Structure 1
């Protein structure tokens, strides 16, 4: 028997790699080393060249569609035709949605990363929310196998759609930053080499709760803000998150540094040199920055809701994301309580080691082979 042909809807890899894009990239990279599998990635538009460079053992099939409506039509109409033409054995939809016309003869795996549209709809762009709420129920019905990144997300899916938790497979993200050669130019650029600083990493959008984090940070005494700058790293998302304007309104300009999105080498450097990660999100299906920080020995301040306590394990201080005072007290606690800080830092690498891209790829590979060999 020849290799198992796995077709993967990879529209997300036409954009910059963040969140789900990183998940798809790293799982495909690890899956591609399995001698029994052959991966073909499909997208309505050209793939991000940086991502293509990381995936040298997979095939790419890209269209040249540029407008959003055209991309959706490509996924619904062209992709099912390509899957049939390429005689795909298994189809993996790694980003919530499943094309309606994929042949019923092709076994299907669906990954649902979160239920933002259901749990925190106010934090989503309206079109994305409507598309997810419309497409997800049908995708779940079509899927032969469902995966989620965390037990918390699996529970959300089970509760919302009446699916048994036992029928949802947990395939978690991980961090690869501990193996990345760091580029310290970002540290030099902002004069952070000899400073302690608090770090936020994530797309700048409402769900990340950045405005409350900034307001909580502003409550610190000026002397503490001077000693512990707040560094914000991440691409701008949607929702009018004009972070620089909020920083200015709160008189934080001299204490807050906004870097924009960083490559892995600079990201690894800025994590490794940080005092702790602050990620008080309103909701996360997993929260990759938590694992990235811990993998480099950095403790975490994060929210007591959704998947975040599960992912952080024993290396985080948990706060109420809706309460600025709770976030403020958490920041102060990690600055002033050195015993607690050292305890969280000491267990960080071990907490992160629970998660591995290779282990997750092996789980996914096992599911694929099990479906083929039924």
Structure 2
């Protein structure tokens, strides 16, 4: 394969803004550099490009934070303690890094000086004129959530004003259609939704690449010490926390539940408090890790019996892939990409089917629900991903 020079265009603050976008960018960076390509990070600035130094780029893309010693494993809140009426401080669990990358003033970064160019987020192209015009190799599409919300096609438990973000996406997607040779969707579901907005005529430009590399080792896939249900990033209306609460209540009437909650809240903290009180009343044990490191999350996953992830809509659903990489079955919704990537199709249900979710939870904890798990599940996922996570360059 010919070694190429590649311009990877990112948001100025991409490392701290969105963990999913950051993981996609880091995934492709590692894939490309491991093939011997030279990758330059740049960010749009006043219609030109500002470059990131090689040292800063290497530091942001390194896995050093993942290989560091496990720090501060104590949860932020456990059952038996007073339910917090405000967000806990992060001193007990936060071990992640933030980077204040030095971006050069726009000088001599030009598209024509690179063999390939990658647009890593559509909203970077808004407002119009902020992204230099010219031929680009590809642009990434993560999901169509803002666009679907804006037209009322995606039902949420409460109103979410997505019009501004949807407009930014729309400007970016129009820029992709005009300037990019290829448009990369991170799942079949996302591709289908993109076509529904922009038409089947674009299908020849669309490709699917599921950007996933499991984190950590999988030596404990066959662990017999799995005892709790894991809730990951559940404190979010789009992640369907109301269905989580209702389903757990119904399951708890039939089996003992130990619960581990992982992730920061994306809703008013009064709703978080109410949620914690509700599930505390029906479970024998609850722990909440508000902002764990990747390594702590991996450690928590290895001890989980099942991940419960009934999201209303996902562009990809990284938690599902991460859990299955550790041999952990996932109870998920059957819509968007969740049903596409869940390797246990019998563990999927409509996002609002509380009884269906409860039945599956009880079946797993009472060992009456047939499931794929352990190395068998991981092997099936690896086979599924084999031809879906490769970004081919021209």
TM-score higher than 0.5: yes
Scaled by the length of structure 1, the TM-score of the pair is 0.75
Partner Cα distance (1:355, 1:180) in 2: 18
- Gaps of at least 5 residues in structure 2 are 66-99
Residue 293 of structure 1: how far off its partner (Å): 0.8
Partner Cα distance (1:135, 1:260) in 2: 32
Superposition map of 1:19-30 within 5 A? 19-30=20-31
Residue 155 of structure 1: how far off its partner (Å): 0.9
What corresponds to 1:145 in structure 2? 182
What corresponds to 1:160 in structure 2? 197
Moved more, 99-108 or 201-210: 99-108
What corresponds to 1:297 in structure 2? 327
What corresponds to 1:320 in structure 2? 350
Superposition map of 1:175-324 within 5 A? 175-179=213-217, 196-202=227-233, 204-221=235-252, 224=255, 227-238=256-267, 242-249=271-278, 251-252=281-282, 255-314=285-344, 317-324=347-354
Residue 297 of structure 1: how far off its partner (Å): 0.9
Secondary structure class of the residue paired with 2:191: helix
Partner Cα distance (2:182, 2:19) in 1: 25
Residue 50 of structure 1: how far off its partner (Å): 7.2
Partner Cα distance (1:117, 1:84) in 2: 31
User: Is contact 2:326–2:374 with CA below 8 Å preserved after alignment?
Assistant: no
What corresponds to 1:73 in structure 2? none
Secondary structure class of the residue paired with 1:39: strand
Partner Cα distance (2:272, 2:59) in 1: 27
Moved more, 235-244 or 295-304: 235-244
Per-residue displacement from partner, 1:70-127 (whole Å, max 9, x unpaired)? Answer: xxxxxxxx87x76439944433122233524444434241111111023345655534
User: Is contact 1:120–1:283 with CA below 8 Å preserved after alignment?
Assistant: no
Per-residue displacement from partner, 1:252-286 (whole Å, max 9, x unpaired)? Answer: 57543221122121111111110011110001111
Secondary structure class of the residue paired with 1:15: helix
Partner Cα distance (1:159, 1:217) in 2: 35
Residue 291 of structure 1: how far off its partner (Å): 1.1
Cα-Cα RMSD:
3.7
Secondary structure class of the residue paired with 1:22: helix
- Gaps of at least 5 residues in structure 1 are 65-77, 183-192
Aligned match of 1:95 in 91, 102, 121?
A: 121
User: Is contact 1:195–1:228 with CA below 8 Å preserved after alignment?
Assistant: no
Query: Does 1:51 find its partner at 2:60?
Result: yes
Partner Cα distance (2:12, 2:384) in 1: 25
Secondary structure class of the residue paired with 1:313: coil
Structure 1 residues 83 and 158, CA gap change in structure 2 (3 angstroms):
farther
Moved more, 321-330 or 6-15: 6-15
Query: Does 1:42 find its partner at 2:47?
Result: no
What corresponds to 1:136 in structure 2? 173
Residue 25 of structure 1: how far off its partner (Å): 1.3
Structure 1 residues 289 and 175, CA gap change in structure 2 (3 angstroms):
farther
Structure 1 residues 169 and 241, CA gap change in structure 2 (3 angstroms):
farther
Structure 1 residues 194 and 98, CA gap change in structure 2 (3 angstroms):
closer
